[in-house]
Amino acid sequence: MIVIKAQDLTFTYSGSKKPAIENLNLEVKEGEFIVITGPSGCGKTTFARCLNALIPSFYRGEMKGFILVLGMDISKSTTSQLSKYVGFVFQNPENQLFSLSVERDVAFGPENLGLPREEVRRRVEWAMKVTGITHLRHAAPYELSGGQQQRVAIASILAMKPKIIVLDEPTSFLDPLSAHQIIETVSNLRSEMEITIILIEHRLDLASRYADRVIIMDRGRIILEGPPSKVYGEDAEAIGVGIPKISLLFNLLKREGYDLGCTPVTLEEATQAIRRRIMDDRS
């Protein structure tokens, strides 16, 4: 099932001359894990705003083409309608947390959906377990580390059981270890529930390991798209996105005349490729 379908989607903010996104065509299947990356200002957040109808209902401007999210045309839907199905996690978790305890924060969303108390309780327990924060249930969110706060923000969204979760650079304020843990938590969601993940991320070393598809944007357009091992060639390097170091190494070797026939995204894949080549050379 297609959960997101954008066709020739173009959006120009009021007062701007240039579109922030231009002729975007994209289909996302249910359950896919998509990473969107690209240089600052290329339109990633603008695209994300279309997924919960903040564009065009909150951010004004001119929209051309269309985008359907779970079959709903965003130009005819409201953010509150979509918020039942599309959950958002932002760069700065502090903006999403406001209760005096972790547990209360996670309960806020399902309570607002008007669910029975027992169901709210079940969801809160489940969301805290999935994100590894059960032991923090009584802590005040403002006392927690950035990584822990981001987990609480994710748990708060999950407790609403969204069909799509959109994370806009959720690791940008985190140290490498916390960032790794957040991306692993996100990728593990797929084994816990039927969910489509849209992760906007610069740290491709981490995210590529788990993504089904990487979308590279530049100046409002999708420039490259495909499985991680197919998109990190020299074109991606030229755009200036932070492609995994191991992919860079293989691109460099290729330029030096040593083509191993692939662009691995993890050390494990690289090791396999080198091993294969050694075996071939020996036989």
Ligand X SMILES: Nc1ncnc2c1ncn2[C@@H]1O[C@H](COP(=O)(O)OP(=O)(O)OP(=O)(O)O)[C@@H](O)[C@H]1O
Element (H, E) at 111: helix 102-112
For position 171 contacting Mg ion by CB under 5 A, the verdict is no
For Mg ion, give the closer residue by CB, 44 or 151: 44
Give the nearer residue to ligand X in terms of CB position, either 12 or 131.
12
Instruction: Examine residue 45 and tell whether it contacts Mg ion (CB under 5 A).
Output: yes
The residue among 31 and 65 lying less far from ligand X, judged by its C-beta, is 65
Residue nearest to Mg ion (CB): 45
**Bridge partners, residue 29, by sequence:** 2
Query: How far apart are alpha carbons 44 and 61 in whole angstroms?
Result: 16
* Residues 56-115 close enough to bind ligand X by CB under 6 A: 59
CB of 20 to ligand X, least distance (A): 3
Q: How far is the CB of 240 from Mg ion (least distance, A)?
A: 16
Binding segment (CB under 6 A) for ligand X, from list 12-20, 106-114, 136-144, 267-275 = 12-20
Which contacts of 126-132 are long-range, i.e. CB under 8 A and separated by 24 or more positions? 126/158, 126/159, 127/155, 127/156, 127/158, 127/159, 128/102, 128/103, 128/155, 130/155, 130/158, 130/185, 130/188, 130/189, 130/192, 131/155, 131/158, 131/185, 132/185
Which residues contribute to the site for ligand X (CB under 6 A)? 13, 16, 20, 38, 40-46, 59
Which residues contribute to the site for Mg ion (CB under 5 A)? 44-45
